[in-house]
């Protein structure tokens, strides 16, 4: 088995995991004892696949999405009427017919388990009822829920014996998705942010090609640790529910986001021709901004420090936020930084040689905001995305210990 290049999907950990509808229309397994796989059906699609025991689900569901590559989007479990018949009485093989409500297509399926392997098989036929076959694109969407958990799954694209596949794993259990007709495109992602449904519903074709959606790579933490951290962030009010995802018959899934009112971060960009100071809430929405011109041929550090301090006063006044709610200030500087209490800056193009920018700014803030943490990074505006989470986490740790 070979894995493709690691193009990590953004958006971890995704929206909270939820199970699908409990209104099942079929359940099946192999009659032979060699296969230990069970499956359920509802809304015309495959739901939970159970393995290695009947109390351990490996998937939430798997269905098809149909587009025309331009403006048409249809998901069979939401936009079809369903017919479900057993092949014969007592035989756990199902014939499914899903006809789109707009009359444009029909999907025929036969679902069964391989009697000798731990595999669920689907024989699928797509028939256009309007237009030609070439007018449509058919995509398979699979939601792994390994070991009864929708979070903490690692997904990736790769090959097995030369066949393109999609894989997922969690806690020693894995699954693979393949097709007799090789996939023309593949991607994995975090639900609600970088998954295939988001891509297809927005672009009507697969434009993302993320190769891995991996919790460990994004956080360096185990699934249990991330769950605990997210729960703590919700308890502290840093993360809040922002709404509910559309329900497909099961319990609606809650969507999470940063709480914009929890606190604020300020960023400073020292550029060639100006000094810019901006204040953001935790969703990175700009709340206030101040700019001051700089002589491109002379960057007097005392002038820059004065501009920064004036800019900090200005964005606090313009935004009306409480100074105590500022979680930190990030400063993007030119040149090389020696991190430490003084934050020494070596900027050759600015004529700065070991300028103690950190000490100078702290001295200026000593009477107005002595408790603001200062972060220094090289390059404009990098501080915001790199330090926002650190500032929020630091504030949580400080408030939790008080």
Higher pLDDT, 239 or 166: 166
Q: What is the pLDDT of residues 269-279, one digit of tens each?
A: 888 888 999 99
Output the furthest CA–CA distance in the chain (Å, rounded). 88
Band the pLDDT of 391: cuts 50, 70, 90: very low
- Is the pLDDT at 162 greater than 80? The verdict is yes
248 pLDDT above the threshold of 80: no
Say yes or no to pLDDT of 181 above 80.
yes
Q: Which residue has the higher pLDDT, 323 or 370?
A: 323
Task: Indicate whether 297 pLDDT > 50.
Answer: yes
Mean pLDDT throughout 277-285?
A: 88
- Cα 197 to Cα 116: distance, rounded to the nearest angstrom: 33
Rounded CA-CA distance 168/177 in Å is 9
Does residue 231 carry a pLDDT above 80? no
Entry pTM: 0.57
CA distances from 161 to 120, 174, 182, 210 (A): 19, 17, 13, 21
pLDDT at 308: 93
Which pLDDT score is estimated for 395? 40
pLDDT at 345: 86
- The span from the CA of 135 to the CA of 246, in Å, is 28
Q: Which position has the higher pLDDT, 218 or 40?
A: 40
Helices assigned H by DSSP within 106-243: 196-203, 215-219, 223-236
The token pair that represents 210 in the structure block: 């993320």
Report which of 69, 199, 207, 179 is spatially closest to residue 134, judged by C-alpha positions. Answer: 69
The confidence score (pLDDT) of residue 387 equals 43
Cα separation of 158 and 105, whole Å?
Answer: 31
pLDDT in the model for residue 249: 46
**In terms of C-beta density within 10 A (0-12 exposed, 13-18 middle, 19 or more buried), how is residue 45 classed?**
buried
pLDDT, residue 239, reads: 84
Q: What is the pLDDT of residue 232?
A: 85
Q: Which domains does the chain have, with CATH numbers?
A: 2-219 (2.70.98.10), 223-258 (no CATH), 264-400 (3.30.420.40)
C-alpha–C-alpha distance, residues 314 and 300, integer Å: 21
CB atoms within 10 A of CB 66: 22
Contact 307, 275 (CB under 8 A): yes
Lowest pLDDT segment from 156-160, 210-214, 224-228, 287-291: 224-228
What would the two tokens of residue 156 be? 């990736």
Where is average pLDDT lowest: 30-39, 78-87, 336-345?
A: 336-345
Strands 73-75 and 154-160: unpaired
- What pLDDT, on the 0 to 100 scale, is given for residue 43? 95
DSSP structure class, residue 209: -
- Sheet with 344-347, strands from edge to edge, namely 336-338, 344-347, 352-356
Instruction: Look at residues 247, 275, 277, 262 and name the one whose alpha carbon lies nearest to residue 321.
Output: 262
* Higher-scoring residue by pLDDT: 106, 384: 106
């Amino acid at each position: 088995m070979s894995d493709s290049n690691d193009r990590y999907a953004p958006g971890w950990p995704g929206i909270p995991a939820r199970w699908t509808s409990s209104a099942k229309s079929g359940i099946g397994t192999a009659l032979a004892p060699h296969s230990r796989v069970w499956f359920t059906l509802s809304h015309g699609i495959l739901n939970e696949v159970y393995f290695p025991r009947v109390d351990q689900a490996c998937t939430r569901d798997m269905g098809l999405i149909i587009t025309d590559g331009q403006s048409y989007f249809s998901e069979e479990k939401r936009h079809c009427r369903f017919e479900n018949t057993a092949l014969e009485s007592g035989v756990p093989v199902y014939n499914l017919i899903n006809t789109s409500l707009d009359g444009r297509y029909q999907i025929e399926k036969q679902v069964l388990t391989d009697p000798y392997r731990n595999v669920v098989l689907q024989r699928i036929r797509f028939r256009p009822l309007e237009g030609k076959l070439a007018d449509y694109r058919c995509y398979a969407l699979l939601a792994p829920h390994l070991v009864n958990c929708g979070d903490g799954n690692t997904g990736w694209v790769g090959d097995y014996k030369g066949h393109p596949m999609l894989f997922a794993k969690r806690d020693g259990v894995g699954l693979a998705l393949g097709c007799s007709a090789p996939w023309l495109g593949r991607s994995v992602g975090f639900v609600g942010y970088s998954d295939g449904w988001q891509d297809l519903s927005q672009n009507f074709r697969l434009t993302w090609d993320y190769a891995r959606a991996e919790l460990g790579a994004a956080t360096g933490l185990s699934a249990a640790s991330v769950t605990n951290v997210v729960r703590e962030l919700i308890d502290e009010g840093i993360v809040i529910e922002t709404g509910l995802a559309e329900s497909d018959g099961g319990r609606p899934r809650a969507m999470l986001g940063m709480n914009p009112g929890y606190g604020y971060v300020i960023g400073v960009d020292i550029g060639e021709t100006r000094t810019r100071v901006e204040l953001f809430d935790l969703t990175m929405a700009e709340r206030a901004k101040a700019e001051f011109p700089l002589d491109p041929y002379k960057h007097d550090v005392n002038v820059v420090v004065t501009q920064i301090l004036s800019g900090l006063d200005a964005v606090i006044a313009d935004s009306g936020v409480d100074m105590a709610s500022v979680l930190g200030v990030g400063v993007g500087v030119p040149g090389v930084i020696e991190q430490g209490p003084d934050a020494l800056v070596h900027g050759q193009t600015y004529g700065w040689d070991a300028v103690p920018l950190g000490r100078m700014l702290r001295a200026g803030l000593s009477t107005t905001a002595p408790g603001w943490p200062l972060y220094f990074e090289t390059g404009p505006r990098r501080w915001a995305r790199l330090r926002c989470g650190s500032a929020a986490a630091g504030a949580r740790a400080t408030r939790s210990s008080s």
